[in-house]
């Protein structure tokens, strides 16, 4: 039986979850582009939404890295 806490299993889980997070980000960014293209939101609103999406994505990447790989970022080490 595989130990889910074994390094290779954690790395596999990390890469799978990162791929899912990347795909979700791409979908969300695509939805913002579509809203902007249809003139339902202004370019400034689209930019603000993209910033929010990217910040959430980065936070999720950091959380996954911390939880699955035990790694920290330089900002977290301060």
Domain boundaries, the chain: 14-71
At how many degrees (to 10) do helices 7-37 and 43-64 cross? Answer: 170
Do residues 68 and 61 make contact, with C-beta atoms less than 8 angstroms apart?
no
Q: Is the pLDDT of residue 16 over 60?
A: yes
Q: Would you state the pLDDT for residue 71?
A: 73
Spell out the alpha helix ranges (H) of 1-78. 7-37, 43-64, 74-77
Q: Would you state the pLDDT for residue 73?
A: 62
Residue 13: partners with Cβ closer than 8 Å, 6 or more residues away:
4, 68
The model's confidence at residue 75, banded by pLDDT at 50, 70 and 90, is low
Q: Is the pTM of this model over 0.75?
A: yes
């Amino acid at each position: 039986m595989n130990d889910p806490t074994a390094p290779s299993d954690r790395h596999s889980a990390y890469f799978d979850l990162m791929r899912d997070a990347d795909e979700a980000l791409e979908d969300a960014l695509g939805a913002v582009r579509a809203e902007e293209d249809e003139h339902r939101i202004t370019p400034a609103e689209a930019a603000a939404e993209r910033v929010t999406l990217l910040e959430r994505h980065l936070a999720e990447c950091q959380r996954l890295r911390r939880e699955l790989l035990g790694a920290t970022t330089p900002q977290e080490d301060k």
